[in-house]
Structure 1
Amino acid sequence: MSQRRPPPPGGEPADEGTGAVPDDVAASVERVLSTTALLWNRADQGLEPAISPIQLRTVEVLARFGRLNLGGLADQLGAIPSSTSRLCDRLEAAGLIVRETARADRREIVLRLSDQGERLYAELVRRRRAAVREVLARMSPASRGRLLDALTEFGQAGERRAPGPRVVGSRTA
């Protein structure tokens, strides 16, 4: 087992049974996530067409959910619908997304990636996985196994707290 350093001044020690997390653990995870964000950003550089980080995030959300209405996309981005609509205007003009009428309600507009958007996303995934493979190759197989277990649990814990998108076809979106 790894040894933990004592909490920094003013830091909270772990309180077994309550789910409290020591500051050093949170700080270590924060450092790793920051390093991962930098790794991601390097992989994102030079994508064609060149798009802004929020546009890239929009492509990622649509790739994950397939089809979303504007309200659902705005929820996922943490943005207001009017800003999301303007963002989608730019992505549509770039040929990366398509707006369609919903099958269940022709008054509702749904968004999805275009073929070009799908290709951009596939290239993004390819680059990011290559960057991650480079880092993983420097780790022992045992460490990779422990990392996979920990990341799986971390992801599941995060997903339990994350709100889902509005369902396509809902009248509230």
Structure 2
Amino acid sequence: MDRAGPEDRLSATAREVAQAATGLVDLWARTAHAGSPRLSVLQLRALTATRHRPGISLTRLAEEVGAQAPAASRLCDRLEAAGLLHRRRSADDRRQVGLVLTRHGQEAIDELHERRSRALRQVLGDMPADRRQCLLEGLRAFTEAADTAPGTPAG
């Protein structure tokens, strides 16, 4: 008979998920560092946010990546110096600056996605098909719950 309460079981499951996710998280991080340019997690988050929202303001980008505006500005300085990002003044209001990916930035993100897809395909190929489907369903449910959880960052 299981004497553990619901909170104990939930805590145990959370620990097991954290341990099980280690392989995926490691693979995800390795692929970001394997190519050129080597991107930090924060740089990748900034480029991804900019890709999804071309013209995003620095303030909004800071919110997206969970950084203060000065840190986000320095991050953009580095990305711009690397040729991955460009600051563009608004034609309507010269005080407004939007961030857009350069062609090199777009290519870097595309290549990263391709490296990740190849790495995932290789690992998934070693799994039985029914387990792959369970993984996919579980990850979709997790993402849906995470996206709607109060107090979690967007995206």
Q: Same fold (TM over 0.5)?
A: yes
Name the SS for the 1:30 alignment partner: helix
1:98 paired residue number:
86
Query: 1:133-148 maps to which residues of 2 (within 5 A)?
Result: 133-148=121-136
Higher RCO by CA contacts (8 Å cutoff, separation 6 or greater):
1
Structure 2 residue runs without a partner (length 5+)? none
Match of 1:79 among 64, 67, 72: 67
Amino acid at match of 1:97: L
Match of 2:148 in 1: 160
Give the aligned length: 152
Whole-angstrom distance in 1 between the partners of 2:12 and 2:5: 9
Structure 1 residue 63 displacement after superposition:
2.3
5 Å matches for 1:16-95?
22-95=10-83
Distance 1:121 1:105, change over 3 A: same
- Distance 1:33-1:64 versus aligned 2 partners, 3 A rule: farther
Q: Which runs of 5+ in 1 are unaligned?
A: 1-5, 166-173
The Cα of 1:84 is off from its aligned counterpart by 0.6
- Offset at 1:132? 1.0
Deviations 1:67-93, CA, capped at 9 Å, x for gaps? 311011101111110111111111111
Rate the CA distance shift 1:44–1:51 in 2: closer, same or farther, 3 A: closer
Q: Work out whether residues 32 and 38 of structure 2, in 8 Å CA contact, stay in contact via their aligned partners in 1.
A: no
Aligned-pair identity (%): 33
One-letter amino acid of the structure 2 residue matched with residue 135 of structure 1: V
- Give 1:13's aligned amino acid: G
Secondary structure of the residue that 2:6 maps to in structure 1?
coil
Amino acid at match of 1:41: A
Q: Report the CA distance between 1:22 and its aligned residue.
A: 1.7
**Is this contact kept in 1: 2:35–2:112, CA < 8 A?**
yes
SS at match of 1:106: coil
Matched position secondary structure for 1:45: helix
2:98 to 104, 107, 110: 110
TM-score (normalised: structure 2): 0.85
Task: Give the structure with the larger helix fraction.
Answer: 2
Change in Cα spacing, 1:13 to 1:54, as seen in structure 2 (3 Å) is same
| TM-score normalised according to structure 1 size | 0.77
Deviations 1:9-67 (A, max 9, x none): xxx6326xxxx862221012111332222111221223223343422332222223333
| RMSD of equivalent CA atoms | 2.3
CA apart distance, 1:104: 5.0
The answer on whether the counterparts of 1:59 and 1:113 sit within 8 Å (CA) in structure 2 is yes
